[in-house]
Amino acid sequence: MEPRQPAPAVAPSQRSEGEVLDAIERRRRRPHVKLMDKQITLAHGAGGKSSHTLTQTVFLKELRNPLLEPLGDSALLQPNGGGGPRLAFSTDSFVVKPLFFPGGDIGELAVNGTINDLAMAGGRPLALSAAFILEEGLATDDLSRIAASMGAAAERAGVPVATGDTKVVERGKADGLYISTAGVASVNRGFELSPAAIRAGDRVLVSGTIGDHGMAIMIARGELELEVDLESDTAPLHELVAALLDATGEVRCLRDPTRGGVATVLNELALTTEVGIVLDEAALPVRPEVSGACEILGIDPLYVANEGKLVAVVAPHASDAALAALRSHPLGREAAVVAEVRPDPPGMVLLDTAFGGSRVVDMLAGDPLPRIC
């Protein structure tokens, strides 16, 4: 779908350049975060507090630069000093266990996951790379099946795997297969999707039911003695994003709620922009199968990953148009408005419960669902 060029004017409700710079400076002045752990744990890969601390204290500290600093789903590049379309550039790794699960496998997941990171910048994906780390002893039939699935996913999305690499490690060192992917996309919208544009009064939408992928993986592992017809929601979202952005130029920010789920995404946005976000529990779309499995595990569906859903923050007067655009696409039929951005409490996410109460939805502290992507 060819993106429509919106009017270049900046909406009055968006932050000025000075306000954006002030927000960045306040973020830099926050108390220094310390990494207290002496060794890496599974929690450091869960996308929650431990991941956030590791990123801030190791990777951002040692690799800091203007492209990395926003810590988005992808980086925005301006080739040749400007004048042409920008490029979104993203990379990801996949260590999901098991390699095959209801609704997909590690190959399809790798293609869709990287396409979705690019789509969150409003980009039109151009090409992917794929690097395979194979374990000695992996069945070649399994590898062929995964490669075929990966190729089919790329063809369906219209995004070729243009280059790659293969390495083999000793038996017992890679749990079968790991995949790393990277991708580039052309971004030629007249506005930038950024947390810096978020303002009090904005609405938060999700494009469909939450927690599907994470629970499908847990059931596939056999760790839950449940006979449930639940599949991963893995899917490429670039066409859904194009439909949304064609419908309104008042989308502030898009995010991909994978590790840590919707709760972690909203906490990151609240912290970055120093706003409060209040969720409406009754509005959250959750499948009964996911709700039941989460109840057995003692996990809130808000923390469970999706691989085919997006979170969108839009201006209040554009929420109806945004919702209609999402619901008009097959991947967004169950979209819902689930939260409102408020000035207080800054940096926090709250949930208005179905019983009339309210509770804090903090960032994920541990890793109750390791190796789900």
Give per-residue pLDDT as tens, 185-211.
999 887 789 999 999 999 999 999 999
* Residues 266, 349: Cα–Cα separation, whole Å: 7
Q: Is the pLDDT of residue 63 over 90?
A: yes
Give me the pLDDT at residue 224, please: 67
pLDDT in tens, 82-111: 677 899 999 999 999 999 999 999 999 999
Can you give the pLDDT at residue 207? 98
Instruction: Identify the structural domains of the chain with CATH numbers, from first to last.
Output: 29-65 (no CATH), 73-188 (3.30.1330.10), 195-360 (3.90.650.10)
Q: Can you name the residues that pair with 373 across neighbouring β-strands?
A: none
From CA 2, how far away is CA 282, in angstroms rounded? 36
What is the pLDDT, as a whole number, of residue 16?
Answer: 45
Asked whether the predicted pLDDT for residue 9 surpasses 60, the reply is: no
Is residue 39 packed enough to be buried (19+ CB in 10 Å), middle (13-18) or exposed (0-12)? exposed
User: pLDDT confidence of 33, banded at 50, 70, 90?
Assistant: low
Q: What is the pLDDT of residue 8?
A: 31
| Residue carrying structure tokens 């490429």 | 236
Q: Please check the confidence at residue 180 and state whether its pLDDT lies above 60.
A: yes
Model pLDDT for residues 149-177, shown as the tens digit of each residue: 999 999 999 999 999 999 999 999 999 99
> Please, which residues bridge with residue 278 across strands?
340, 350
pLDDT for 370: 84
Assess whether pLDDT exceeds 70 at residue 123.
yes
Note the pLDDT of residue 186: 95
Q: Is the pTM of this model over 0.85?
A: yes
**How many CA atoms, within 13 angstroms, populate the side-chain half-sphere of residue 321?**
14
Estimate the share of the chain in helix, then strand, then coil, as percent rounded to the nearest 5: 35, 20, 45
The predicted structure's pLDDT at residue 7: 31
